[in-house]
Amino acid sequence: MPVTPTLKIKVWDWPTRLFHWLLVFSVSGAWISSFREYLLMEHVWFGHTVVGLLVFRIVWGWIGNGFARFREFVTGPQIVWEYAKMRFRNKAPRILGHNPLSAWMTVSLLLVLLGITLSGAVTLAGEEWIGPLAKYFSMEQGRFAKGIHVWLSYALLSLVTIHVLAAFLESFALRENLILAMISGFKRPPLEVETPLEKDKYSNGIKSVYPDVKLQYWFLSGFVLVVFALTVGVSFDYRTPLTQEALAEQQSPEHQLYMSECGSCHFGFHPSLLPHRSWEKMMSDLENHFGEDAWLDAETTQAILDYLGKNDAEHFQSEASFNLMENVADNELPLRITKIPYWLMKHEEISEQIYKRKSVRSPLNCGACHGYAEYGSFEDGHIRIPK
């Protein structure tokens, strides 16, 4: 029988609503954490959650309930165009689920998010050497993926802005709070709609059948557990193979000799921060070492030079060494790491007051903020500026 205007119909099932708001939270967290490099691991956690939510939504779009299924709302371009013209003339029929325009906004958001997560994984692998793809992508490929990642993020921001604005405008036009509907799951039906218990024919001409949900909810429960394990299972102190290799270096007698001789007067900069020609120049004139006499006997000097040669920027490739050396010409002879353009750019937001803290003392004290700087690891996730 026909319904009254006050009747509410359950349109969005709770898994769809939970997905929607968890995605809002995760994308917001990923966006906020992207502004600070030391929040890299938090950014990765949010990214893992987004990946899990996307996989869930794609599967739920095939086996889910009612209007959650793609076949219930995804239409061809002709229908979208016709609906857009009617919407512009304010003559479009009121549709209970996604209208054709909002349907393709949903698809666009899912596709852009998929692109962001994939490009993010490649960026993480190529630039940071983190994750299961680390051995498959180079630094150049990681940097290229980062550019795509950034532009897709701005595309997502634009789509989200349009999506939210459209929700407010549609709520005003229909005199119904669509945002509240995504919380409660209920919407006010058109007058001509019959109850869903009778497998109604809605205003968009699509039948909606609510199937037995036991199998779907078992899938949902298992999926949530898997996503939770993958997300929380990422260690806060995530050590990449590069970090592990760098940490292993601390056990070598050569490293200990270098730190005891060079690291006793100032922070022992890892050899990967300068090219071999710079270390050769520095070690050949230790009597005039930045205004100090750092003379060493010939045997010790050669032993340290051998260690530097095995781990310089040409041999110990890392994100830091790659970026530091990228704009240094082959005929340049950089001797002060803190004067290299990339170093200056990365530290331009650090105030002089921070360098004056007792816990930092100087821009030369890399280990104050980079937990594994001594071993050649400068991962963003390990940056902690001390109080």
Is pLDDT of 53 > 60?
yes
Buried b (16+ CB within 10 A) or exposed e, 179-217: eebbeebebbbeeebeebeeebebbbebebeeeeeeebe
Give ranges for CATH 1.20.950.20 in the chain: 9-232
Q: pLDDT tens, 165-210? A: 988 988 887 788 888 888 888 887 765 444 343 334 333 333 333 4
302 close to 339: Cβ distance less than 8 angstroms: no
Phi-psi region of 199 (alpha: psi -120 to 50; beta: other; left: phi over 0): left
One-letter amino acid for residue 265 of the chain: C
Percent of all residues in the chain with a pLDDT value above 90, rounded to a whole number:
32
Tokens 């371009």 sit at which residue?
77
Name beta bridge partners: 9: 187
CATH of domain 9-232: 1.20.950.20
Q: Which contiguous run of DSSP H or E holds residue 186? A: strand 186-187
Q: pLDDT band for 116, please (50, 70, 90 cuts).
A: very high
| Residue 340 predicted with pLDDT over 90 | yes
Lowest mean pLDDT, pick from 19-23, 255-259, 302-306:
255-259
Can you give the three-state secondary structure of 10-73, one letter per residue?
A: ECCCHHHHHHHHHHHHHHHHHHHHCCCHHHHHHHHHHHHHHHHHHHHHHHHHHHCCHHHCHHHH
Provide the 8-state DSSP code for 5.
Answer: T
> What is the reported pLDDT for 40?
83
Please write the tens of the pLDDT for every residue from 236-247. Answer: 445 566 666 666
CA dihedral 317, 319, 320, 324 (to 10 degrees): 80
Structure tokens at 342: 């990339």
What whole-number percentage of the chain has pLDDT above 70? 81
What 160-167 contacts at long range (C-beta under 8 Å, 24+ apart), as own/partner pairs, is 160/27, 160/109, 162/105, 163/102, 163/105, 163/109, 166/101, 166/102, 166/105
* 260 contact partners, CB below 8 Å, separation of at least 6: none
Kindly state the helix (H) or strand (E) to which residue 200 belongs, with its residue range: none
Residue 96 CA to residue 103 CA, distance in Å, equals 12
> What is the structure's pLDDT at 217?
63
pLDDT value for 275: 93
Question: How far is CA 216 from each of CA 9, 16, 21, rounded to the nearest angstrom?
Answer: 21, 12, 19
List CB contacts of 217: < 8 A, sequence separation 6 or more.
15
DSSP string, 272-338: GGS-HHHHHHHHTTGGGBTTB-----HHHHHHHHHHHHHHSTTTS--HHHHHHHHTS-TT-----GG
- Pair 124, 130: CB distance under 8 Å: yes
**Which of 283, 336, 288 lies closest to 305 in space, CA to CA?**
283
CA dist 121 → 45, 111, 132, 146 (Å)? 12, 15, 9, 9
Closest CA to 223 of 93, 89, 58: 58
Task: Note the pLDDT of residue 214.
Answer: 56
210: its two tokens = 């609510």
Q: Is pLDDT at 66 greater than 70 in this prediction?
A: yes
- Taking only the tens place, the pLDDT of each residue in 101-111 is 888 899 999 99
151-164 per-position pLDDT tens digit: 999 999 999 999 99
Token match 């920027």: residue?
313
